[in-house]
């Protein structure tokens, strides 16, 4: 009988090695290589011959052959409607048959609630929910609470299985023959083929690989739920993200009511889409128009607040940028940003000091994106500078002003993409003035907008429009 082989995998990037290495040659991190046992396929015990495991053997029985590219079918992958507009958008139009999707997020953020309230609506699909963390009684109580809110009743085609053994799970899959399989969570599942505890690198890797083979051979989509660690990365080896087809992450502050669903990896759609939910006591509610909820009710007369028209994915929405500038209480001034890139904030402060002439060297600067959002759109630059300057001089920006523009190192306001959608969103919510880059006027039909447009070339011109001379 052949012996099992020992390999080493980097927890951070998934790089493999035949020996232990102190520093990963791929990502440069130290002490991230962990030992895993790679079992020789010929030493696998043959005593277990159940239908579930035989499903995985089909892929090895049927050998692939090379094909010409024009011989391969190019038909569109069939999608399963999840009954949730936000989730469908992030997935790229729905769940693809035979795909494996990883949903990650912090413990308690609402991952299980999102999945459970989604599948409760899918009465036409036979679904197997495998729970390794909660008992069937706990899931029943949560399902009753969610069903009472939307009044869509209990799903008779939903089957719950409290189980952590992968072999037993495949036995029940062969018996139930579900159309969708959900594993909550992948860190609690273990297989007899690996001699380590559940949640270890080798267990997570082997279980995910087996579920991937099952999804591809049977055409049944699998949804894996996974936790993230303290660094904000998905728990388990990084190779788990390489195995699955789609990685979506559920983000948000537990002290805040809003939750953000975004795609990190998607083989069947865009990774720039964004879904927004509002967490309530009776479950998650879809936010179809985030602009109205992300803007505070009344900020008139308050300094340090600027409104920008941002775009995440295909949807534009207005975001409230808040800034606070105060004299440094200690020797070293603080620079803090919540929901915005900290390094970009430092760059914009340098531009404000060098090109505009405002000295912020001895002052603390705090920046916050209202609503708990994390925005990566560079069109936020202009509103960040406006909010910082408004707080510094303690002069509020008049209500009815919105803006969008990227700021360069020389102080110029650079053009941004899809300016017409940004202007239309601001006009729809009742704003009367919009500051935009002058270069964006080229090819823009200004006659279709009733909002007053203020094109600018430099940061000084934008600040002059907002605060006068």
* pLDDT value of residue 87: 93
Region of residue 219 (phi > 0: left; psi between -120 and 50: alpha; otherwise: beta): left
Query: In Å, how far are 317, 387, 413 from 380, measured between CA atoms?
Result: 12, 11, 11
Question: How many helices and strands in the chain, by DSSP H and E?
Answer: 12, 23
* pLDDT value of residue 401: 94
Distance CA 140, CA 459 (A): 57
415-420, long-range: CB within 8 Å, 24+ apart, which pairs? 415/439, 415/440, 416/377, 416/378, 416/379, 416/440, 417/311, 418/311, 418/316, 419/444, 420/444, 420/445
Quickly list DSSP for 67-85. --GGGS--PPPPEE--S-H
Q: Which two tokens stand for residue 394?
A: 């303690």
Distance CA 441, CA 350 (A): 28
Distance CA 161, CA 257 (A): 31
Residue 344, classed as helix, strand or coil, is helix
Residue 292, classed as helix, strand or coil, is helix
Distance CA 126, CA 156 (A): 9
Distance CA 275, CA 86 (A): 5
Distance CA 215, CA 212 (A): 5
Sign of CA dihedral 241, 242, 247, 251: positive
Q: Which two tokens stand for residue 446?
A: 């200004």
The C-alpha R_g of the chain, in whole angstroms, comes to: 26
* pLDDT value of residue 211: 94
* Distant-in-sequence, close-in-space partners of 141: CB < 8 Å, separation ≥ 6: none
* Distant-in-sequence, close-in-space partners of 278: CB < 8 Å, separation ≥ 6: 257, 258, 259, 284, 285, 286, 287, 293
Query: In Å, how far are 118, 263, 397 from 289, measured between CA atoms?
Result: 20, 19, 24
* pLDDT value of residue 397: 93
Quickly list DSSP for 134-162. S-HHHHHHHHHHHHHHHT----TTEEEEE
Phi then psi dihedrals of residue 307, to 5 deg = -110, 130
Residue whose token pair is 């102190």: 22
Quickly list DSSP for 199-250. TSHHHHHHHHHHHHHHHHHH---EEEEEEB-TTSSBSS-THHHHHSSEEEEE
Residue 37, classed as helix, strand or coil, is strand
- Cα 235 from chain centre: 15
* pLDDT value of residue 60: 42
Distance CA 251, CA 104 (A): 9
Distance CA 387, CA 322 (A): 6
Residue 290, classed as helix, strand or coil, is helix
Query: In Å, how far are 80, 283, 377 from 274, measured between CA atoms?
Result: 19, 19, 13
Bridge partners of residue 131, in order along the sequence = 162, 184
If residue 419 lies in a helix (H) or strand (E), which one and from where to where? helix 419-428
Is pTM beyond 0.85? Reply is no
* pLDDT value of residue 296: 63
pLDDT in tens, the chain (469 residues): 455 677 888 776 767 788 888 888 887 888 888 777 665 544 444 334 444 444 444 444 456 688 888 887 766 777 899 989 999 989 988 999 999 999 988 888 889 999 999 999 898 899 999 999 888 899 888 888 887 766 656 778 899 999 999 999 999 999 999 999 999 989 899 998 877 778 777 788 889 999 999 999 999 999 999 877 655 555 555 668 888 999 998 887 666 778 889 888 999 888 878 888 888 887 888 887 777 767 766 677 789 999 999 998 778 889 999 999 998 877 788 999 998 999 999 999 999 998 888 888 889 999 999 877 788 899 999 999 999 999 999 999 998 999 999 999 999 999 999 999 999 999 988 899 999 999 999 989 888 999 999 999 999 999 999 987 6
* pLDDT value of residue 43: 43
Distance CA 32, CA 238 (A): 11
Contact yes or no for 53/167 (Cβ under 8 A): yes
């Amino acid at each position: 009988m052949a012996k099992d082989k020992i390999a080493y995998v980097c927890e951070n990037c998934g790089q493999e090695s035949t020996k232990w290495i102190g520093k990963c040659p791929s990502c440069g991190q130290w002490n991230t290589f962990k030992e895993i046992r790679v079992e020789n396929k010929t030493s696998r015990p043959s005593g277990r011959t159940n239908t579930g495991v035989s499903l995985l053997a089909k892929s090895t029985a049927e050998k692939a052959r090379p094909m010409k590219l024009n011989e391969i079918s190019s038909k569109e992958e069939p999608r399963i409607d999840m009954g949730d507009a936000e989730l469908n958008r992030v997935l790229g139009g729905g769940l693809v048959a035979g795909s494996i999707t990883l949903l990650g997020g912090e413990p308690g953020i609402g991952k299980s609630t999102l999945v459970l309230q989604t599948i409760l609506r899918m009465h036409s699909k036979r679904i197997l929910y495998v729970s390794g963390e909660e008992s069937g009684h706990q899931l029943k109580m949560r399902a009753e609470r969610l069903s009472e809110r939307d009044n869509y009743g209990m799903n008779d085609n939903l089957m719950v299985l409290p189980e952590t053994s992968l072999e037993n799970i495949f036995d029940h899959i062969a018996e139930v023959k579900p159309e969708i399989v959900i594993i909550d969570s992948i860190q609690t599942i273990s297989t007899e083929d690996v001699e380590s505890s559940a949640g270890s690198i080798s267990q997570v890797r082997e279980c995910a690989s087996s579920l991937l083979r099952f999804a591809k051979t049977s055409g049944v989509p699998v949804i894996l739920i996974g936790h993230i660690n303290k660094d904000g990365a998905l728990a388990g080896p990084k190779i788990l993200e390489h195995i699955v087809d789609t990685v979506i992450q559920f983000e948000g502050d537990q002290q805040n009511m809003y939750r953000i669903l975004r795609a990190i990896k998607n083989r069947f759609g865009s990774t720039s889409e964004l879904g927004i939910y509002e967490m309530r006591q009776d479950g998650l509610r879809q936010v179809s128009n985030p602009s109205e909820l992300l803007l505070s009710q009344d900020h008139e007369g308050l300094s340090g607040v600027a409104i920008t028209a941002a775009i995440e994915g295909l949807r534009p929405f207005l975001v409230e940028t808040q800034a606070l500038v105060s004299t440094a209480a200690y020797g070293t001034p603080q620079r803090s940003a919540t929901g915005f890139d900290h390094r970009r904030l430092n760059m914009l402060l340098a531009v404000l000091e060098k090109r505009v002439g405002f000295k912020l060297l001895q002052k603390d600067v705090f920046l916050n994106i209202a609503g708990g959002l994390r925005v990566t759109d560079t069109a936020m630059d202009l509103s960040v500078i406006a909010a910082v300057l408004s707080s510094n001089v303690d002069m509020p920006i008049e209500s009815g002003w919105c803006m969008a523009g990227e700021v360069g190192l020389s102080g110029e306001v650079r053009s941004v993409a899809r300016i017409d959608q940004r202007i239309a969103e601001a006009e729809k919510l009742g704003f009367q003035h919009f500051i935009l880059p002058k270069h964006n006027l080229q090819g823009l039909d200004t006659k279709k907008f009733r909002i007053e447009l203020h094109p600018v070339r430099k940061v000084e011109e934008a600040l002059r429009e907002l605060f006068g001379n």
